[in-house]
Amino acid sequence: MTLRLATLNALLLVVMLVLNSLANLLPLNGRTTAFISDSFPLVFVPAGYVFAIWGLIYLGVTGLVGYALTPAGRRSVRLGALGIWLPVNFAANALWILAWHYGAYLASLVLMLTILVSLKAMRARLDAVAGVEPPSRRDTWLVRAPLSVYQGWISVATIPNTAVVLLSAGWSGAPFAPEAWAALMVVVAAVLNLVMVVRLRDVAFGAVGVWALVGTFAQQQIAYPPFALLSLGAAAVIALSIAATMALRPRSARVGGAA
């Protein structure tokens, strides 16, 4: 990664972190991020503590950006493979905060999908260079793992973001009840996580899925018991797949996939 691109990433990271802090400290437009989410009758939404994962995500990408500013980072094949997608991701993340807090929900979904696409693109690029050289421990923990956690969370977060757009447009879920749609989304999330864990050996991605689904159980166990139990069961299946993958795969392939 060039020094110019690494510097751009650092500047956009600062903007993203500042906006995220202001979103909840001011808060932006007089509403916190969680308050906006709670203002919609969402079923597939986890307990508030689950959103603390953003702290881990921001810590991870901060480590990645710091690594990119070092001589070793600029020589890293994996960091170089991320290309323009990392600053695109940071810019979309910062703009998402503004769109969400100012009620531009359709724009927030477009930005959320941009974040997701950029993460998928970076993953594809990391996979493409997997055969160039074996990943170092530093690349595994400072590049691959943070992006896997990030992608795991955005893959889940896109679901309620989509629901908010539909609800804000006046759609009530007809012809099915909200619980039915939420149950379908749990199944989709579970299948996605199983594919990532079993096929791609990405235990970090799967661990985020378990975290989100257990949090969903905690949030909905009183209001929607059957749905909550489905979420807990899905989390248990993913957790078992993670345990099996870690037991059967070599140590070097246990975090963030094979590449």
Whether residue 58 is contained in a domain is answered as yes
The answer to whether residue 4 scores a pLDDT higher than 70 is yes
The answer to whether residue 134 scores a pLDDT higher than 90 is no
Q: How many residues does the chain have?
A: 259
Smallest Cα–Cα separation from 152: which of 69, 213, 66? Answer: 213
Whether residue 258 is contained in a domain is answered as no
Helix and strand totals (H; E) in the chain: 12, 0
Q: How confident is the model over 228-254, as pLDDT tens digits?
A: 999 999 999 999 999 999 998 765 555
Whether residue 222 is contained in a domain is answered as yes
Q: How confident is the model over 27-39, as pLDDT tens digits?
A: 999 998 888 988 8
Whether residue 139 is contained in a domain is answered as yes
From residue 24, how far is each of 17, 34, 225 by CA, in Å?
Answer: 11, 9, 31
Using the 8-state DSSP alphabet, how is residue 2 labeled? -
pLDDT value for 259: 46
Whether residue 14 is contained in a domain is answered as yes
CB 208 within 8 A of CB 145: no
Q: What are phi and psi of 172, to 5 degrees?
A: -100, 0
Amino acid in the structure at residue 221: Q
Whether residue 259 is contained in a domain is answered as no
Quote the number of domains for the chain. Answer: 1
Q: How confident is the model over 41-98, as pLDDT tens digits?
A: 889 999 989 999 999 999 999 999 999 999 999 999 999 999 999 999 999 999 999 9
Q: How confident is the model over 84-108, as pLDDT tens digits?
A: 999 999 999 999 999 999 999 999 9
pLDDT value for 257: 67
Q: How confident is the model over 152-203, as pLDDT tens digits?
A: 999 999 999 999 999 998 887 778 888 899 999 999 999 999 999 999 999 9
Whether residue 143 is contained in a domain is answered as yes
Tokens of 9: 């990433």
Whether residue 235 is contained in a domain is answered as yes
Instruction: Tell me the residue range of the domain where 202 lies.
Output: 3-253
- Reported confidence tier of residue 131, pLDDT bands at 50, 70, 90: confident
